[in-house]
C-alpha cells in the first residue's frame, strides 16, 4: 500500500514538474521558454507555431502576457512560442552586449524547437520565426544560421550588428522584413552604439537578394497597417519581401498576423 501511494505521489510530482505552458516555464537545460496552444486545441492535431523573440530588456513572460498577440496566434490556429535571451539582451555576433557565448544562442533555439515539437502537437515544418527590435536582430541571425529550422522569417525593426554576413547558410529562406521609415532607434541606415554600428537594412536586403538570386516581383500595399511593400522572388519560389510603415520604432502585433497570412497565402505554411 505504501509502495502504491509512493508511486502515485512520484507520478503526480513528475507530471507537475514536466508540465509547462503559457504560465509555467518549459525548461531546456538552464534556460526556458513559454508556449500557448490555440484555444480549444484538442492536444493531438498538429498546428503551426510562431516563435517570437523579445526586444531588449524584454522577457518571454512579457511576450506571453501580450493578450493581443496571444489572441492573434489563437485566431490563426497556431501556437505562440515565446523565447528568452540570457540576461536582458540577445547575444549576437558583433553586438555590444554579448552576455553569453554566441554559439549558445543558436543551440538554445535548436533545443527549443526540438523540445516544443516533442512535447506538443506542433508541426516542425510550419514554424515562423519573428521578433521585434533586438528580437528582429535575433531573427535575422536565425535566417543566416538556421534557414532550415523555420518555414519563414519575419524580422521587425531589427538588423545585423556591423556589416551583414558575407555568407549565410543555405538554402536561402522566405523572409519578410518590416520596418519604420523614420525609425531612430534602429535606423534603416544604421547607427553607432557603444562603438559598434548597427547594420544598414538596405545593405542587408541587397546582399541577401544577391545571394538568393531574388528578382523584383512587384509592389503591394496594406492600407489597414499603412504598409508599403516591395516584393521579390527567386526561381525556386523563395520570397524576400520588404515592408515599410510611415513611423518610428514601434511594435504592432498585427504585423505578426500579417506576416503569417502573407506566407500562408504564398503557400509556405
Mean pLDDT across the chain: 91
Helix (H) or strand (E) holding 140: helix 134-145
Give SS3 for 33. Answer: strand
CATH topology of domain 26-40+47-265: Rossmann fold (3.40.50)
Interaxial angle between packed helices 102-119 and 134-145, expressed in degrees from 0 to 180 and rounded to the nearest 10: 80
81, 182 contact by CB (below 8 A): no
Per domain, the residue ranges of the chain are 26-40+47-265
Please write the tens of the pLDDT for every residue from 147-185. 999 999 999 999 998 888 888 999 999 999 999 999 999
Question: What is the predicted pLDDT for the residue at 6?
Answer: 42
- Rounded to whole angstroms, what are the CA distances from 193 to 85, 162, 197, 251? 20, 10, 6, 21
245, 226 contact by CB (below 8 A): yes
Question: What is the predicted pLDDT for the residue at 11?
Answer: 37
Q: Which among 142, 121, 119, 118 has a CA at the least distance from the CA of 130?
A: 142
CB-count exposure of residue 93 (10 Å: 0-12, 13-18, 19+)? middle
Residue 255 has pLDDT above 80, yes or no: yes
The residue count for the chain: 269
Residue 143 has pLDDT above 80, yes or no: yes
Give the start-end residues of each E strand in the chain. 26-28, 31-36, 47-53, 79-83, 122-132, 152-156, 175-180, 192-193, 196-197, 215-222, 227-233, 240-245
CB-count exposure of residue 59 (10 Å: 0-12, 13-18, 19+)? middle
**Residue the block writes with cell 536565425:** 142
The structure's pTM equals: 0.91
Enter the C-alpha cell of residue 166.
Answer: 558575407
Please write the tens of the pLDDT for every residue from 70-124. 999 999 999 999 999 988 788 888 877 655 556 689 999 999 999 999 999 999 9
Amino acid at each position: 500500500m505504501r509502495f502504491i501511494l509512493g508511486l502515485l505521489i512520484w507520478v503526480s510530482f513528475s507530471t507537475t514538474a514536466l508540465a509547462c505552458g503559457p504560465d509555467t516555464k518549459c525548461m531546456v537545460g538552464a534556460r526556458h521558454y513559454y508556449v500557448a496552444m490555440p484555444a480549444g486545441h484538442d492536444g493531438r492535431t498538429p498546428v503551426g507555431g510562431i516563435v517570437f523573440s523579445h526586444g531588449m530588456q524584454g522577457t518571454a513572460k512579457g511576450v506571453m502576457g501580450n493578450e493581443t498577440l496571444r489572441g492573434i496566434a489563437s485566431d490563426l490556429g497556431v501556437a505562440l512560442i515565446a523565447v528568452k535571451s540570457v540576461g536582458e539582451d540577445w547575444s549576437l555576433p558583433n553586438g555590444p552586449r554579448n552576455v553569453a557565448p554566441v554559439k549558445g544562442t543558436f543551440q538554445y533555439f535548436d533545443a527549443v524547437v526540438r523540445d516544443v515539437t516533442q512535447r506538443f502537437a506542433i508541426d516542425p515544418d510550419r514554424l515562423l520565426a519573428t521578433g521585434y527590435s533586438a528580437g528582429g536582430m535575433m531573427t535575422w541571425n536565425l535566417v543566416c544560421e538556421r534557414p532550415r529550422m523555420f518555414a519563414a522569417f519575419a524580422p521587425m525593426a531589427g538588423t545585423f550588428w556591423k556589416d551583414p554576413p558575407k555568407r549565410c547558410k543555405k538554402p536561402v529562406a522566405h523572409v519578410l522584413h518590416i520596418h519604420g521609415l523614420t525609425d531612430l532607434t534602429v535606423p534603416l541606415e544604421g547607427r553607432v552604439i557603444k562603438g559598434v554600428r548597427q547594420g544598414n537594412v538596405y545593405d542587408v536586403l541587397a546582399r541577401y537578394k544577391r545571394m538568393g538570386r531574388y528578382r523584383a516581383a512587384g509592389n503591394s500595399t496594406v492600407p489597414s497597417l499603412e504598409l508599403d511593400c516591395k516584393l521579390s522572388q527567386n526561381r525556386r519560389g523563395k520570397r524576400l519581401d520588404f515592408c515599410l510603415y510611415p513611423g518610428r520604432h514601434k511594435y504592432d502585433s498585427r504585423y505578426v498576423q500579417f506576416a503569417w497570412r502573407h506566407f500562408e497565402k504564398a503557400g509556405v505554411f
